[in-house]
Amino acid sequence: MKVKIIGAGSIGNHLAQAARRMGWSVAIVDADPKALDRTKNDIYPKRYGSWDDAIKLFKSGAEPAGGFDLIMIGTPPDTHMKIALRAIEENPRLLHIEKPLCTPDLAGIEDFEKLLKRHPGTIVTVGYDHSISDSIEAMLKLAKDGFVGAIQTIDVEFREHWKGIFGAHPWLAGPGDSYLGYWKRGGGAGGEHSHALHLWEFLSVSLGWGAAQETQAMLDIRRINGAEYDQIAAFSLKSEKGGMGRVIQDVVTIPARKWAKLQGDKGFIEWFCNGVPEGDLVRYQQEGKSPMEKIFPKKRPDDFYREMLHYEALLDGSIKPKDSPLKFTHGLSIMKILKQSYHA
C-alpha cells in the first residue's frame, strides 16, 4: 500500500506514523521546507521515539504523482478543496480529507462533487476518527441491544481549551497564527471541535433517528488582534424522525471534556474520550441498579491506527463505503450545519 500525505503538521505526522504501523509505504509533502524539517527532527521523533527513515519527504511540486492507494490531506481546511481537486485526478483508491471538510461557506464543494462523479473508483472520507473507536462501537451495541430501553435524547460535548491544541503545535504562538483563530477558514470551536456534531449525527443515524434536520445555534464570537472565532458553540438539534439533543463545543474548558450520553427510558450510557489515564471509558446504568464501567485502553496515536485499519477494511471490501461513519456525505452534512449556524 502506497500512501501520500499532504501536510507535515501535527495531523500529518499522526497519519504517517499510523500508516507506517500498518507497514505501508509513506511519502509526506509540504509547501514549507521548515515544516518538513520539523517533522523529521522534532515532531515525529519526539512523539514516537525516533525518525522513521522509510518515510520520504517532498516539497510541494517535487513530489511523485499517481500510483498511490491512499492520498491523505492534512492541511488547513481552507486549502482542502483546492488540494482535493488535484488529488482526485491521481485516481487514488481512497482520498482522506481531514476534518473539517472545508470552510463553512462550502467554497469549492460544488466543483469537487462534480469531479467526484468522474472518479467513481475513489472512496472519499473525512477524518472524524472518534466515530470508529471501539469505545463508541461498544456504546452503540449497548443501545441497540436495548440495555437502557428506548433512547430519549443524545448529548455530545467536545470542550477543550486552546492550550491542548497549541501544546501539539508549539510552533504556533496562539490562534491568530493559523486557521484555528478564524471561523471563516474552518477554525474556532465550531470547526476544530466538529467531532461533536459528527458524533451526534452518527449516533442519531445509527440509532434510526436519521440525520439532523433542524438546528439552532448560539455562538460566542471573539475578535482579538485580527482573529475572529467562536470560543463557544452550542447547538440544539432535531433529527429527521424527531429525535432531539444538543451539542456543545468550546475552546475554553480546562481540563478537556469529550463526552457523549445516550439517555434511555430505562437508564443511560455515557462515553468519555480519554476519560481515564488508560484511555476511553464507557459508563452505563439501568434504573435501580449499580453503574457499570468498561475501559478501552489507548493512546492518541491508536486513534489514527484504528483509522488505517478502517481504511484497509474499506479497500478490501470488508466495509462498504456507504456504511462508513467517515463517508464524504456525512462530513459534508456537518459542514452544512456549520454553514447554517454561521449564516456563512
Give CA separation, 289 vs 20, 143, 152, 153, 267, in Å: 45, 17, 19, 21, 9
Interior CA angle at 260 toward 22 and 199, to 5°?
55
- Three-state SS at 288: coil
Phi then psi for residue 80, to 5 deg, are -55, -50
User: In the numeric block, which cell numbers belong to residue 317?
Assistant: 471490501
- Predicted TM-score (pTM) of this structure: 0.96
Domains of the chain from N-terminus onward: 2-126 (3.40.50.720), 131-298 (3.30.360.10)
Instruction: For residues 18 and 107, give the distance between their C-alpha atoms in angstroms, rounded to a whole number.
Output: 30
- Three-state SS at 322: helix
> Residue-wise pLDDT tens for the chain (344 aa)?
999 999 999 999 999 999 999 999 999 999 999 999 999 999 999 999 999 999 999 999 999 999 999 999 999 999 999 999 999 999 999 999 999 999 999 999 999 999 999 999 999 999 999 999 999 999 999 999 999 999 999 999 999 998 877 877 787 788 888 899 999 999 999 999 999 999 999 999 999 999 999 999 999 999 998 999 999 999 999 999 999 999 999 999 999 999 999 999 999 999 999 999 999 999 999 999 999 999 999 999 999 999 999 999 999 999 999 999 999 999 999 999 999 999 85
Buried b (16+ CB within 10 A) or exposed e, 244-276: ebbbbbbbebeebbbbbbbbbeebbbbbbbbbe
Instruction: For residues 250 and 153, give the distance between their C-alpha atoms in angstroms, rounded to a whole number.
Output: 21
